[in-house]
Amino acid sequence: MKIDSIDPRVNRLELDAEHTYEDHVLQTEDHFQTYQVFHQKKRGDKHICVGIVHAPSDEMALVFAKEQYARRGETVNLWVVNTRHVLAMDYEDTDIFSTTTEKTYRDPAGYKVNDRIEAYKKAQIDV
């Protein structure tokens, strides 16, 4: 028994009604690498990471990235970077980012001029 679908594309495949996807065991070569896609909207803008594509090579990653992330809207350029080239922190090490001691002198809010800025802003609103 073949699958009888209202979709002619499915019927063309002549799939057995009993077909199961367990018939297909993934081989190593079925696994493509992932690439991070960076999208640039205008010349001079930063490229912004917008997601990933799976691809067998650098060039094919660029081919796929174009349709995944740049087929609508404005784009002037794309980068793809193989995910294995990204060196990342561990989430276990997030504590690296926490500040324990009082360091308000590093914070622009700590500058004395801030009082004058606030006063100026307030004056603008009052007008």
Instruction: Kindly tell me which of 47 and 62 has the beta carbon lying closer to another protein.
Output: 62
Write b or e for each residue in 25-44: b if 16 or more Cβ atoms lie within 10 A of its Cβ, otherwise e. Answer: eeeeeeeebbbbbbbbeeee
In 37-126, which residue ranges form alpha helices assigned H by DSSP?
Answer: 58-69, 113-126
Contact between 68 and another protein (CB under 8 A)?
yes
Tokens of 118: 């606030």
Handedness of CA 60, 61, 67, 71 (dihedral sign): negative
* Residue at token pair 């190593």: 28
Site for another protein in 25-64 (CB under 8 A): 29, 32, 53-57, 59-60, 62-64
Among 12, 42, 46, 106, binds another protein (CB under 8 A): 12
Among 14, 22, 23, 67, binds another protein (CB under 8 A): 67
Contact between 80 and another protein (CB under 8 A)?
no
Contact between 81 and another protein (CB under 8 A)?
no
Please, what is the minimum distance in Å from the beta carbon of residue 4 to another protein?
Answer: 16
Q: Are 50 and 38 in contact (CB under 8 A)?
A: yes
Residues forming the site for another protein (CB under 8 A):
8-9, 12-13, 29, 32, 53-57, 59-60, 62-64, 66-68, 71
